[in-house]
Structure 1
Amino acid sequence: MHPIVIIGSGMAGYTAAREFRKLNPEHELVMICADDAVNYAKPTLSNALAGKKAPEQIALGDAAKMATQLNMRIEAHTWVKEIQAAQHQLVLEKNGQQTIQPYAKLVLAVGAHPVRVAIAGDGSDDIHVVNNLEDYKAFRKNLDQHHDKRVVILGAGLIGCEFANDLQNTDHQVTVIDLAPQPLGRLLPTHVATSFQEKLEDTGIHFVLGTTVEKVIKVEKGDYLITLANGQSVVADVVLSAIGLHPNLELAKTADIHCSRGILTNSHLETNQADIYAIGDCAEVNGLLLPYVMPIMQQARALAKTLNGEKTHVHYPAMPVAVKTPAAPLTVLPAPVDVDVNWETEELEDGMIAKALDSENTLRGFVLLGPSAAKQRLSLTKLVPDLLPAAV
């Protein structure tokens, strides 16, 4: 019997392996990844500074430890050159040597890569992105080399704001630049975004919104001059780009696996190719692309049962997202994009509760800003219909 093979050693890959092992301790399991297969939780990267965690302390286990823990063969530093779907096998390359790896079932947990925009100037190649632990190590090493602690962040989305708060908490001078007119533009209604921005600005974070970076030039002492489209300029020691992620689709496309924004799957996480599944940031499940922790957990539990012979639909209950910005504690449950909503807002002493109601007055999403509002998370979540029902 051929093994179940997982491509990818991120949270999705390891969670799928762990959930499968709970059900089936014996069936051969193989994980293939291009990096060192260190297991860590990516969400910890954007608040490790305030948590006083050095990059070396973030890892939960190396490949050897995880292989033993999950009774799994891990092929690190190994590239999947081709998926031969008809033959149920992979062409692998490691150290310049190619081998064939057969599979009974294949799980694509290939994640996403940072969006990079073309920026002029001789400093643009030095812009950091943080999408994995190695990226984070390089970013922290660069931060530690500068005493002025001036950091420019490109992108006022969830990751950009989390990094901004984390850096500001550790005495860095942070400027956040975004083309959108408000932070968290895709998640928050304008009136909540304004209050959220004000709370972050109270800590010293500087927002420059409604404009883009045109050029990043190296100047003396390792500084960078960042020129903006609105004519302003900012000087920084370190520049971090956090303008979003694109699912990794190239490998799937070469195997004629259907893709849209992500790798397309049904509610069993099946792709159009037999015995090939997708999970995590790369997976677009029944039209939903949700790059958050809770959907990964729901996917992994369902997929483990399916891989073990009990075909199971993934169930998406309402899954609020906690944004790690202690200066402005925020919990967001985005309303479905295809639903028209009206916002009802209750002002509190330390924040607000904003509810997204549809035409039938059903709660479809909410935003909780501040410590008092956060206490409503569970009671409000129960009122929101499932995003993907338990059986469809």
Structure 2
Amino acid sequence: MTAPILILGTGLAGYNLAREIRKLDKSVPLVLVSRDDAPFYSKPMLSNALASGKSAATLVMKTAERMAEELDARILARRQVTAIDTSARQVSLQDGEVLPYRDLVLALGADPIRLPLDGDAAPEVLSVNDLDDFARFSARLDGARRVAILGGGLIGCEFANDMLARGIEPTVFDPAPWPLGRLLPEEAGAYFRAGLEAAGVVFRMGISAIGVDRQGATYRLRLSDGSVAEADLVLSAVGLRPRIGLAEAAAIQVGRGIVTDRHLASSAAGVSAIGDCAEVVGLSLPFVMPIMQQVRALAKTLTGTPTAVSYPAMPVLVKTPALPTVAAPPPAGLAGEWVLTHPEGGLEALFLTPDGSPAGFALLGAATSRKQVLAASLPAWL
């Protein structure tokens, strides 16, 4: 029997790679392994599911069984991978099963970064990174009126906006001076903050939580400025750390993520990496559009047509209906300056290099209508 293409992970990257492979090759054996029940759902919808009245169950588009039929694949749900043997081209599972592979794709995702909080309630701080997390989080929201969100980045701000639909008062804490600091320049960040504050979000910038204690049915947060705050629930959204442990144990090169070239190939023969766990020629981009570029390129490579991944300029859509926002930040360290204009009902920030060429933008409110035009003017990221 021919060894299969083995995909570890059934998230956005893993399942979409399998779909792209099936478009190109109807017969190559496919096996997917998942830590959870392996449902097909849209992870980006987790941070705006409350406003649309979605539960963890209704977010599921297709079960693992349905996906197995559609992909003509073997899908192993609730199975833990313990080791990768790149010499023997096989993967060991916790239950003792050993899976051979022709090609191995690591679509392992990333784990939420945990803040070093003290206090007796620190273990009760929640994070939402998958469907199981969302089920636990949404169950705890019943009766909650005040939620503390640790982190004013993309996910923290999206959850804050989403909670407004449930009549919940979200307070966002972040040591940075303005929200969405990795996506927006300062003035745009201030404009974004004002828009969400007008809708009911409370921001406490320049402040971080250092401890969380139980106080009856609520939580007491001890903050870096010496003050305290109370909340019915605490959600941590301070970022993600790529899952590199399995690769590192198998002597596959890792950096921030699993290091790959433009063909998504790792340092081990026959092993590729995609999605949130991958570091593609130095770039770790945990967003939908880069992942889709990766899976299309890798599917071609694995079916006989070596294809390097390319990244056009890929704006990030911030799901905050209180103030629609789209950002395409310039490459880190690039020389240039932000030029801001204020069209009616919005703000446009354009990053210009010394020769006047656009290299990034941030669009807020009515200015988001310019997304397509400006995106076409930006150079490719890769």
TM over 0.5: yes
Deviation digits for residues 236-268 of structure 1 (CA, Å, limit 9, x no counterpart) = 111100000000000000111111111100000
How far apart in 2 are the matches of 1:215 and 1:262?
29
* SS at 1:382 equivalent: helix
Tell me the residue number matched to 1:348: 343
Matching residue of 1:160: 156
What SS class does the counterpart of residue 379 from structure 1 fall into?
Answer: helix
Give secondary structure in 2 for the equivalent of 1:316.
coil
Report the counterpart of residue 358 of structure 2 in structure 1.
363
Gaps of 5+ in 2: none
1:231-270 equivalent positions in 2, closer than 5 A? 231-270=226-265
**What TM-score results when the alignment is normalised by the length of structure 2?**
0.98
Corresponding position of 2:274:
279
Which residue identity lines up with residue 82 of structure 1 in the other structure? A
* Alignment RMSD (CA, Å): 0.9
SS for the counterpart of 1:128 is coil
2:371 equivalent to 1:377: yes
After superposing on structure 2, the runs of 4+ consecutive aligned residues of structure 1 that deviate more than 4 Å are none
TM-score normalized by structure 1?
0.96
Report the Cα offset of residue 93 of structure 1.
Answer: 2.0
Separation in 2, partners of 1:379, 1:271:
36
In the TM superposition, 1:171-190 aligns within 5 A as 171-190=167-186
- State which of 140, 143, 167 in structure 1 corresponds to 2:141: 143
C-alpha deviation, 1:8, in angstroms: 0.5
Match of 1:109 in 2: 107
Residue equivalent to 2:126: 128
Instruction: Give distance in 2, aligned partners of 1:68 and 1:104.
Output: 21
Aligned counterpart in structure 2 of residue 226 of structure 1, from 221, 236, 239: 221
- Compute the displacement of 1:273 (Å): 0.5
2:324 to 309, 313, 329: 329
Quote the Cα distance in structure 2 between the aligned partners of 1:338 and 1:234. 37
Superposition deviation, residue 52 in structure 1: 1.2
Q: Which amino acid aligns with 2:213?
A: I
How far did residue 17 of structure 1 move? 0.4
Shift of 1:116: 0.1
Cross-structure match for 2:198 = 202
SS in 2 for 1:315: coil
Corresponding position: 1:216 with 2:219:
no
Secondary structure, counterpart of 2:94 in structure 1: strand
Counterpart of 1:327 in structure 2: which amino acid?
A
SS at match of 1:354: strand
How far off its partner does 1:287 sit? 0.9
Measure how far apart 1:231 and its partner are. 1.8
Match in the other structure for 1:6: 7
Which of 169, 177, 194 lines up with 2:165 in the alignment?
169
Q: Output the CA distance in 1 between the equivalents of 2:82 and 2:213.
A: 37
Hey, what's the Cα distance between the residues in 2 that align with 1:215 and 1:300?
41
Using the aligned pairs only, state the percent identity.
45
Aligned-pair distance for 1:36? Answer: 1.0
Q: Alignment length, in residue pairs?
A: 381
Q: Deviation per CA, 1:285-322, whole angstroms, max 9, x where unpaired?
A: 11111000000100000000000010001010000010
Deviation at 1:270, TM superposition (A): 0.3
> 1:16 corresponds to which residue?
17
SS across alignment from 1:34 = coil
Distance 2:353 2:73 in 1: 47
**Unaligned stretches of 5+ residues in structure 1:** none
SS of equivalent to 2:75: strand
